[in-house]
């Protein structure tokens, strides 16, 4: 039996992170170098929402600049990786076999939740990639189920890359802050404790059980990719990478479920 490929969740931050990568960008680059090279990548981003799970069959995904008000240089950045239509078909098949309704989009490109971390993880843009949409109206348990249905991809060398945010409350941000906002730090540490513990019920009910749970995510779309990663990664404790906070309130944590494959320890540690 082939060892399981890792599953990775990253907090992607604002798009202009790419112009000043800092500690977070360095950690992503280290992770990309440390991970086994995948056969293909399935990105699950907070920035593609759909009524039912939808996967892209684009053969040459466009770089979508789905943001406004940032420096002009950001809009010239591209990520011209090949598409992964065969993987898209496999994803649709796995979800359908699990009784989950699924749709296929023939042309949808990569939003910044996918291409921004990928530019630092795999800058050569030579690994086929496709993207799967989330369903914010469906909640955490649904996305845990999506991840569980996708587990067989790990036996096929596919990297499941979930991209969202550990905290996502703009009211917690202070531009240039060097210390974490206390509520953001409390929620990030609670989340790490829950991910390290067996079972998922308290994690699923985070809005009620976590300190500042609902405040950490006034809307849920940025945390839902983490539940896909947890479902695909399984109940074992992931490795936490905590490069710090941006503007005090954005916890930039990443989580890695290594599976059975050897993962070199990034120079930055955990």
At 160 the pLDDT is 98
Nearest to 184 by CA among 156, 160, 211, 146: 211
At 263 the pLDDT is 58
Q: Is the pLDDT higher at 14 or at 83?
A: 83
With a cut of 80, say whether residue 267 has pLDDT above it: no
Nearest to 32 by CA among 161, 125, 115, 120: 120
At 260 the pLDDT is 64
Confidence of residue 200 (pLDDT cuts 50, 70, 90): confident
Q: Is the pLDDT higher at 267 or at 239?
A: 239
With a cut of 80, say whether residue 129 has pLDDT above it: yes
**Which helix or strand (DSSP H or E) is residue 140 part of?**
helix 139-149
**Bridge-based pairing state of the strands 239-241 and 254-257:** antiparallel
Beta-carbon contacts of 242 under 8 Å, excluding residues fewer than 6 positions away, are 188, 192, 251, 252, 253, 270
What does the pLDDT look like over 77-127, one tens digit per residue? 999 999 999 999 999 999 999 999 999 999 999 999 999 999 999 999 999
Q: Which of 171-185, 195-209, 252-266 has the lowest mean pLDDT?
A: 252-266
With a cut of 60, say whether residue 264 has pLDDT above it: no
Q: How many residues does the chain have?
A: 270
Q: What are the structural domains, with CATH classification, of the chain?
A: 7-257 (3.40.830.10)
Tokens for 88, please give them.
């898209």
């Amino acid at each position: 039996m082939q060892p399981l490929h890792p599953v990775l969740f990253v907090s992607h931050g604002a798009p202009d992170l790419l112009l000043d990568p800092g500690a977070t960008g360095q950690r992503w680059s280290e992770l990309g170098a440390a991970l086994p090279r995948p056969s293909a990548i399935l990105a699950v981003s907070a920035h593609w929402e759909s009524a039912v799970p939808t996967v892209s069959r684009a053969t040459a995904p466009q770089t979508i600049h789905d943001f406004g008000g940032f420096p002009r240089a950001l809009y010239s950045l591209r990520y011209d990786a090949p598409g992964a239509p065969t993987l898209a078909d496999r994803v649709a098949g796995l979800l359908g076999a699990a009784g989950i309704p699924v749709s296929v989009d023939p042309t949808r490109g990569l939003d910044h939740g996918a291409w921004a971390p990928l530019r630092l993880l795999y800058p050569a843009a030579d690994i086929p990639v496709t993207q799967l949409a989330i369903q914010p109206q469906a909640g955490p348990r649904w996305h845990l189920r999506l991840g569980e249905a996708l587990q067989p991809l790990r036996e096929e060398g596919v990297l499941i890359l979930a991209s969202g945010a550990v905290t996502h409350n703009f009211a917690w941000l202070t531009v240039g802050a060097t210390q974490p906002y206390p509520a953001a730090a409390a929620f990030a540490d609670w989340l790490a404790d829950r991910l390290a513990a067996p079972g998922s019920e308290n994690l699923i009910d985070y809005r009620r059980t976590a300190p500042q749970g609902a405040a950490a995510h006034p809307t849920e779309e940025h945390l839902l990719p983490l539940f896909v990663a947890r479902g695909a990664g399984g109940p074992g404790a992931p490795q936490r990478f905590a490069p710090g906070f941006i503007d005090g309130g954005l916890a930039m944590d990443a989580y890695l479920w290594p599976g059975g494959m050897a993962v070199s320890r990034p120079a930055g540690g955990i």
